[in-house]
Amino acid sequence: MLAVGLSLLQGERKAPCDMYRKVGDEDYILFAQKGLPLSVDLCANLAEHAVKTLYIAPEESEDYYSYLRSFTEQVVKDPHIDSEHKAKAVYSSCREILHHVFDDPRASFINMAIDMIAPTMDLIVTDDLATRCLIKLTDYDQSTYTHSTNVGIFGIALARHYFGADAIKDLHSLGAGFFLHDLGKCRTPIEIITKPGPLTPEERTIINKHPEDGYNILLENGVMTEEFKYLTLQHHERDDGGGYPYGLKGKDIHPYARICRVVDIYEALTAERPYHRRISTFETLKLMKEKLVVDMEQGVFEHFVKLFLS
Ligand SMILES: [Fe+2]
């Protein structure tokens, strides 16, 4: 069975396929039958038992995610739904599809994620209040897909602020690129990603392969774009040439990748990680300005700080 989140349980929706609850280690019971409403009572029942995951048959995953995609688009377009609820819906949908893509990065799922991210882009570009809600919503756990969702949200918001939405050539590809920048980490052993302590030189060599792994996954699946190329390959390059994989310097690093790096540093510092406690937004921005600004473009960082002041 395939684990899915609870994104569809926001409002009266119909189950897009049979959805199950796990009982014990191996057993599943039917929670909602395909076509029947996901009623308020059913949702309350999940909340009562602190259930955060449902299950579907793997062969129904395309139906499930295409329904989730149309649900997300409808919510974004619905003038009767307020910005806060729109923000909640797109955040949980993006996180859910990214979880799936990191578990199984095949072309159909990557394309579904790209598709799902498009309404989020449209929301951020058109709705300032929703953007502020999204920035507040960014949740923190140790998972790569939550980190990627957060970098995606901040990346789009910063790119819009830095370039202006009208100056961006392909907004949807850029947005999806921010969400998928760390896709290569699905090939990094989980013990290295979650290691509670400093990495050995050998482990560091392995994790430093993720920019090229991410690029190769997108290339192998036939979904490469110019935006994806720069964001996957260059998001760990540093202005002073001390980054990886190529040690590019200053203007040789694409502006999209420079934006991704600032957001990536912020997100890594504010997240709860095995090797450090979470620090506040103010402390993080102060630390970035005092200690890390040498390897970031100052102009990009200044625009980033303004995101929190608007
Ligand atoms: Fe990365």
CA 271–ligand 1 middle distance (angstroms): 14
Q: Would you state the pLDDT for residue 217?
A: 95
Mean pLDDT of successive 10-residue segments in the chain (310 residues)?
77 82 87 83 77 87 87 90 90 88 89 90 88 79 82 92 86 93 92 86 95 96 95 94 92 94 88 68 85 74 85
Tell how far the Cα of 125 is from the centroid of ligand 1, in angstroms.
25
Cα separation, 243 vs 235, in Å, equals 9
What's the CA-to-centroid distance between 247 and ligand 1, angstroms?
15
For 211, half-sphere exposure in the C-beta direction (CA atoms, 13 angstrom radius) is: 20
pLDDT of res. 213: 96
Q: Ligand 1 centroid to 52 CA: how many Å?
A: 27
CA 211–ligand 1 middle distance (angstroms): 6
CA distances to 97, 124, 180 from 76, in Å = 17, 10, 21
The model's pTM:
0.86
Q: Kindly give the distance from the C-alpha atom of residue 143 to the centroid of ligand 1, in angstroms, as a whole number.
A: 13
Dig out the tokens for 291 from the structure: 């200690």
Q: Name residue 88's amino acid.
A: K
pLDDT on residue 310? 67
Distance 297 CA to ligand 1 centre (A): 18
**Ligand 1 centroid distance, CA of 122 (Å):** 25
In 3-state terms, what secondary structure has residue 2? strand
Q: Is the dihedral of CA 230, 298, 304, 300 positive or negative?
A: negative
Angle at the Cα of 215 (from 214 to 221), degrees rounded to 5? 90
Q: Which residues surround ligand 1, an ion (CB under 5 A)?
A: 182
Q: Ligand 1 centre from 145 Cα, in Å?
A: 12
Dist. CA 161 → ligand 1 center (Å): 22
Give the C-alpha separation, 192 to 202, whole Å. 10
Give the phi and the psi of residue 11 in degrees, each rounded to 5: 105, 170
Burial of 52 (0-12, 13-18, 19+ CB in 10 A): exposed
Domains observed in the chain: 82-309 (1.10.3210.10)
Nearest one of 217, 211, 243 to 230, comparing CA atoms: 211
Specify the pLDDT at position 277: 67
